[in-house]
Structure 1
C-alpha cells in the first residue's frame, strides 16, 4: 500500500538531520518539525472552526426560508375553504330558486415552476452547508489524530519516522486540497441560496426581483473576479475558496485536453502545476520573475 514510502523518506520541511549525530540532533529536528506541524494543523483548525460557525448561522437562515417556501408547494387551505363556501352559497341560492346549480369546479393544484425551483435551490444550499460542516468536523478529527499519533513514541528518531510517514500520507492524499473543500461548499451554498431568492420573489414582486438581480449581479461579478484573477496573477492578494479548487480542476482539465490533442509540452506544464499545487505555483512564479527586492523598512503612517 505504501510502496512509494521508505523509512528514509524525508519531509521537505524541515530538513532531516544526520542520523549519525545522535538523539540530540533528532530532538532538535523534531522541535522544528513540531513547529511546522503546529502551524499546519493550526491553519486546518482555524478554517474548520470558521466554517462551523458560519454554517450554524447560515443553516438557521436556510431552514427558516425553506419552512416558509415549502408551503407554496401544496394547496392553500384558505383558498380551498373559499371555494367550498362559494360552492355552498351557489347551491343554497339555487335551491331557493328551484334551480339546480352544478357544483363549483375546483381546479387541480399545480405548484409554480418558480417555487419548485426555489425549494430545490434552498434544499441544495442547506445540504451543501451541512456537508461542509461535516467535512470540517472530519478535518478537525484528523488534525487531532495526526498530532496524537505523531507524538506517541518517546524516542526522537522513532517520532521522526512516524511523523514522516504521516506527512507522506498528507501529501499523497492531497490534504491541502481537502481543506479547501468545506469553504468552497459553503460559498456554493450561499450562491444557491441567492439564486433561490430570485426564483422566490419573481412571481411575488417584480420590483424586489429586479432589485435582487442588480444587487446579486454586482456581488457575483466581484466574486468571479476575485476567483479568477489569482489564476493569472500570482501577486493578487485576493482569492476565494473556489480559486484553489477551480485552479486544480482547470489544470487537470487542460492536462486531459492536451493529452487528447497530443500536446505533450502543454500536458507536462499543466500536470506539473496540478501536482505541485496552487500555492507552489505562486512560489514558482515568484522565483521565475525578475524583480528588485525592497529591503527597506516599511514606512510608518
Structure 2
C-alpha cells in the first residue's frame, strides 16, 4: 500500500496543482474582463432611458409656448393649444436594446465563470485534504479511490474544460455588443472595428483548431 499511496499522492498533487493553476488564470482574466464590460455597461445602459437634458429643453419649450398662448388668448380665441410633452412616449432604439442585452449576457457569463473557477479551486483543496488525511494506509487508499471515482462520475475534467469555453462565449458576446454599439454611433467606425475583429477572429480560430488537424511536421 505504501508504494501505491506514494505514486497516487504524487499524481493527485500534480492533478490538483494543474487544476488550481488553470482556474487561477481564469479568475485573473475574468476579473479584468468583467471590469471592462462593466465600464461599457455604465455608458450603454443610459440609452435605455430618456436624456434628462433633452427632456428639460422640451419642458422649457412647452412652458414658453404655453405662456405665449396665454398672452395671446385674449386676441385669438381660436388658436390651437400648444403641444404637450409626454415623458412616457420615450422608447429605446432596437440597437440600444440589443447592445445592452449582449453586454449584460457577457457580464453574467463572465461572473458565472469566476464562480465556477472558485468552486473548482475549493474542490482541488478538498481533494488534497481528504486524500492526505492521517489514517491507516488501507483507509487512505480506499478514500483516494472513492474520490477519484467520484471525480470521474461527475466529469470534473470536462467541467474544467467547459469554463474556458464559456468564457470564450462571453468574449464573443462582448465583441458583438461593441460592434453594435459603435454602429449606432458611427457606421464607419463600426464597420472598421468589425473588419478588424473578423480578421483577428479568423486567425484565432485557425490557431485554435490547427493543432488538432492531425497534420505532422517533418523536420
Tell me the TM-score normalized by structure 1.
Answer: 0.65
Distance apart, 1:205 and its partner CA: 0.9
| Structure 1 position 77 matched with structure 2 position 19 | no
* Equivalent position SS for 1:233: coil
Aligned pairs for 1:209-224 (under 5 A) are 209-224=190-205
| Structure 1 position 186 matched with structure 2 position 167 | yes
Distance apart, 1:235 and its partner CA: 5.8
Q: Deviations over 1:260-290 (max 9, x none)?
A: xxxxxxxxxxxxxxxxxxxxxxxxxxxxxxx
Residues paired across the two proteins, number? 213
More helix by share: 2
Aligned to 2:139: 158
Contact 1:90/1:101 (8 A) holds in 2: no
| Structure 1 position 205 matched with structure 2 position 186 | yes
Summarize the Cα distance change of 1:235–1:120 in structure 2 as closer, same or farther, 3 Å threshold. Answer: farther
| Partner Cα distance (1:103, 1:45) in 2 | 68
Aligned to 1:33: 8
Name whichever of 143-152 and 114-123 sits farther off: 143-152
Summarize the Cα distance change of 1:28–1:44 in structure 2 as closer, same or farther, 3 Å threshold. Answer: same
Aligned to 1:297: none
Q: Unpaired segments of 5 or more residues in structure 2?
A: none
| Partner Cα distance (1:161, 1:40) in 2 | 18
| Partner Cα distance (2:23, 2:70) in 1 | 71
* Equivalent position SS for 2:133: coil
Aligned pairs for 1:58-207 (under 5 A) are 58-97=33-72, 98-99=75-76, 100-106=79-85, 108-207=89-188
Q: Unpaired segments of 5 or more residues in structure 1?
A: 1-25, 237-290, 295-301
Distance apart, 1:52 and its partner CA: 1.1
* Equivalent position SS for 2:102: helix
Aligned pairs for 1:16-27 (under 5 A) are 26-27=1-2
Q: Deviations over 1:34-59 (max 9, x none)?
A: 11111111111011111111111111
* Equivalent position SS for 1:180: helix
Contact 1:83/1:104 (8 A) holds in 2: no
Higher relative contact order (CA 8 A, sep 6+): 2
| Partner Cα distance (2:129, 2:216) in 1 | 37
Aligned to 1:48: 23
